[in-house]
């Protein structure tokens, strides 16, 4: 991988590893979930929209608004499973869970994605449909990875299965489910839609959906500077800038190598929580981190991510965005 590729890789590892920290700062600062999601999506859309316009992606031709209109149903489903639901659930869950624990639980997405991809492939074959799956078998290493990863989730979640924490863990599991299904929709139904344009459309839709609830729960007084910085960081850095870097990374090194940064995000989330929020680094968290990370690596192996079609190492233009965290 080139030096530029390593720089982009390091940036993505941080940019999608620190949102949990910023969400925690915002919710503990009194920001409601609708306000947080609205601020993040509106800022992200506002920053990315000029890039779409400059590239001419908003025109009526191929890849323009006509493409969005033709695919509005899968775009709506993708937005619901990647942004509308998950970002609200994450924000609500972090009222009860630490940012590091949230980041570790989300690390189970590759494992859940593999399981769902295999279930979908099996179901399609049972119905006599031509499958879009890989046709790969789950060998001993992948089964071991699945069990290790699930064990890590259990180790992390078991001590908190009561009261508000149990509800919050359930919310995170719904986020994991959404993050696992959305890429399948993107791969199967949204291949013709330019990724940057689709990202702006999804962020704009989310901002519109949360505008009224945000207005109804708007803070009565101006939040302090730390909270405002967290909101700005979520929208500008962790959303707008992250997508730009993400697209550049995939163009530089290809999807399969680029997505390895998802294994680094949990470490960044844990480190950020410990360093900036004084969250405890317990033996349970360390053990869960090792189990989930090793399980994800073994379960997904060196193959492509579940739900994504095979691609060449470099792509000139279209890449598929996954706005995690």
Query: Rounded to whole angstroms, how far apart are CA atoms 260 and 319?
Result: 15
What pTM, to 2 d.p., does this model score? 0.84
pLDDT reported for residue 132:
52
| Residues 13, 268 contacting (CB under 8 angstroms) | yes
Please state, in angstroms and as integers, the Cα–Cα distance from residue 199 to each residue in 70, 78, 279, 295, 309, following that order. 16, 10, 33, 30, 19
Residue 188 or 301, more confident: 188
Average pLDDT of the chain is 84
Q: Which of 41, 73, 321 is closest to 195 using CA atoms?
A: 321
- Lowest mean pLDDT segment, chosen from 109-113, 222-226, 255-259, 266-270: 255-259
Query: Rounded to whole angstroms, how far apart are CA atoms 225 and 35?
Result: 16
- Lowest mean pLDDT segment, chosen from 85-94, 117-126, 136-145, 165-174: 136-145
- The mean pLDDT value for 197-204 works out to 94
Query: Rounded to whole angstroms, how far apart are CA atoms 278 and 321?
Result: 32
Give me the residue spans of the domains in the chain.
3-300
Q: What's the pLDDT band for 163 if we cut at 50, 70, 90?
A: low
Q: For 272-317, how does the pLDDT look when each residue is reduced to its tens digit (9 = 90+)?
A: 999 999 999 888 888 988 888 888 788 766 544 444 444 434 333 4
pLDDT reported for residue 260:
73
pLDDT reported for residue 164:
65
**Is 178 a residue whose pLDDT tops 60?**
yes
């Amino acid at each position: 991988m080139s030096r530029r590729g390593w720089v982009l890789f390091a940036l993505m590892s941080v940019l999608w590893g620190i949102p949990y920290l910023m969400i925690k700062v915002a919710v503990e600062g009194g920001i409601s979930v609708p306000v947080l999601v609205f601020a993040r999506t509106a800022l992200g859309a506002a920053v990315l929209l000029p890039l779409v316009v400059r590239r001419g992606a908003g025109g009526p031709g191929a890849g323009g608004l006509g493409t969005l209109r033709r695919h509005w149903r899968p775009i709506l489903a993708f937005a619901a499973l990647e942004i509308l639901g998950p970002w609200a659930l994450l924000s609500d869950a972090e009222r009860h869970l630490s940012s590091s624990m949230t980041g570790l639980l989300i690390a189970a997405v590759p494992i859940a994605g593999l399981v769902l991809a295999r279930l979908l492939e099996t179901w399609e074959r049972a119905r006599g449909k031509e499958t879009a799956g890989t046709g790969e078998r789950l060998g001993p290493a992948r089964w071991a990875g699945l069990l290790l990863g699930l064990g890590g989730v259990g180790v992390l979640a078991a001590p908190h299965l009561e009261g508000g924490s149990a509800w919050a863990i359930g919310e995170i599991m719904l986020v994991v489910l959404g993050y696992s299904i959305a890429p399948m929709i993107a791969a199967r139904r949204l291949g013709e839609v330019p990724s940057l344009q689709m990202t702006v459309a999804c962020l704009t839709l989310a901002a519109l959906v949360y505008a009224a609830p945000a207005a109804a729960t708007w803070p009565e007084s101006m939040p302090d500077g730390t909270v405002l910085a967290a909101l700005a960081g979520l929208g500008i850095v962790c959303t707008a800038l992250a997508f730009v870097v993400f697209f550049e990374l995939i163009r530089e090194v290809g999807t399969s190598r680029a997505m390895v940064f998802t294994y680094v995000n949990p470490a960044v989330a844990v480190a950020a929580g410990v360093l900036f929020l004084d969250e405890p680094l317990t033996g349970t968290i360390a053990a869960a981190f090792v189990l989930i990370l090793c399980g994800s690596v073994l379960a997904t192996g060196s193959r492509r991510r579940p739900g994504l079609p095979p691609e060449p190492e470099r792509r000139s233009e279209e890449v598929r965005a996954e706005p995690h965290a």
